[in-house]
A and B are shown apart, each in its own frame.
Chain A
Amino acid sequence: MASKKTPEINSSSTADIAFLLLCYFLMTTTMGSQAGLQRRLPPMPDPNQKVEDQKVNRRNIFIVRINSSDRLLAGSEAIDVSQLKEKTKEFLSNPNNDPNLPEKSEVDIEGFGKYMVSKGVISLQNDRGTSYQAYIAVQNELVKAVNELRDEFAYNNYGKRYASLSEEKQEIVRKAIPQNISEAEPKDITKK
C-alpha cells in the first residue's frame, strides 16, 4: 500500500484569529492600575459626647487653607503651591529648634533607639467651592514633603532610599517621621 503523507494544514489563518482576539482585548482593556493618595479619616465623634477642644499647642499646628478660588494660605501667609513643600519640610523638621516651629519629643523607637520625633500636625482645610484638582495638588505636595523627609532620614541612617528599605526599617522610618495630616471637620472658611 502506498503510504500517503498527511497534507500540511494551512496555518495562515491562525494569525487572523489571534488578531481578532487581540483586538477584542485591546478594546476591553482598561490597564487599570489603581493608584492614588491613601488617607485615613478620623472617626466620627460621638454626638452624645461633649466636644472638648483638643489642646494642641499653637506652634505644633500648621494650617493649610484652600479657598474657593483655589488660593492657598499656609500658616499665616498666602503662598503658591510650589512653595508649600519647602514650608512643610521646614515645619516638620524644625532643624534649628526654632521656638515658633513644632516641638519635638523623645520617642523610643523599637529597633532604632531614641529619636526626637516632631509633634507637628498639618491641618488641611478647604472650602466647598475648592476644586478637587487644587485639593489633590496640595495633598500631593504635603505627601511629597513627608516622603522627602523620610528619604533623607533613611539615607542618613541606612544609606538607602526609603522605598528600598526592608519592611521593618520602613516601619522605623514611619515612626520617626510620622505623616500627620489631619482633614479636620469641614468648616465654612469663607467670610460672609
Chain B
Amino acid sequence: MSKFKKGGKKAVPAGSTSSLSDIVFMLLFFFMVTTQMRETENKVQVKLPEASEVAKLERKDLSSYINIGSPVRHLQAQYGTDSRIQLNDSFKTVDDIRDFIAAERDAMSEADRQFMTVSIRADENVRMGIVTDVKQELRRCSALKIMYAARKVTEE
C-alpha cells in the first residue's frame, strides 16, 4: 500500500518563454528612456570629486561643459599628462573659452541666455590654478552661473 508511485515518469512541461521577451523589452525601454547619448568623446580623464550637498541641474539643454583633467591614456604620448582643458571635441587653452562661450550663447534662444550654466567638470586631482584661470575667463565673458560638477555621496 504505497502512497507514492514509483517509476511513473512524468515529463515536466516546457516553461513558456513568451514572457521573457516582455521582460527584456521592459528593461530595454527603461534604458532607452534613461539614456542620453554621449555627444562628445572624452579626451581627458575626469573623475569627479565627491560632495554630499549637490543640487541637480534643472535644464540640461542650457548647460555647456568645460572638462579639465589629464589626457586619456592613448593621448598621453602626444599631449603629456599635464592637466588640459577640453571644449567640445578638442584640447583648448584658456583663451579659447571666450569663443566657446560666445558660440554656446548663439546657439541658445534669446530668452534662455540668462539661464545658461557653465558646468565645470574637473578631475579631482587637478590643481586649482587652472580652474581659477577658467573661472576668471568666465567672469570676463560674463558667464557667471557656474556649477562644479560632483558625484553625489550620501553620508551615513
List residues of chain A with CB under 8 Å of any chain B CB: 11-12, 14-15, 18-19, 21-22, 25-26, 28-44, 126-133, 135-137, 139-140, 143-144, 147, 183, 186
Contacts and interface: CB of A to CB of B under 8 A. Distances in A.
A133 B51 CA distance: 9
B67 interface: no
Interface in B117-146: 117, 119, 122-129, 131-132, 135-136, 138-140, 142, 144-146
Contact of A144 (B36, B53, B145, B148): B53
Contacts of B147: 34, 36-39
B103 interface: no
Contacts of A186: 132, 136
Contacts, number: 148
Instruction: Place the interface of chain B in its size category.
Output: 35 or more
Interface string B28-41: 10011011111000
Give 3 closest A-B pairs by Cβ, nearest first: A128-B129, A133-B124, A25-B31
26 contacts: A11-B18, A11-B21, A15-B17, A15-B21, A22-B24, A22-B28, A25-B32, A29-B35, A29-B36, A30-B35, A34-B60, A35-B151, A35-B152, A36-B119, A36-B150, A37-B55, A44-B140, A128-B132, A131-B126, A131-B127, A132-B124, A132-B127, A133-B124, A140-B51, A140-B52, A140-B150
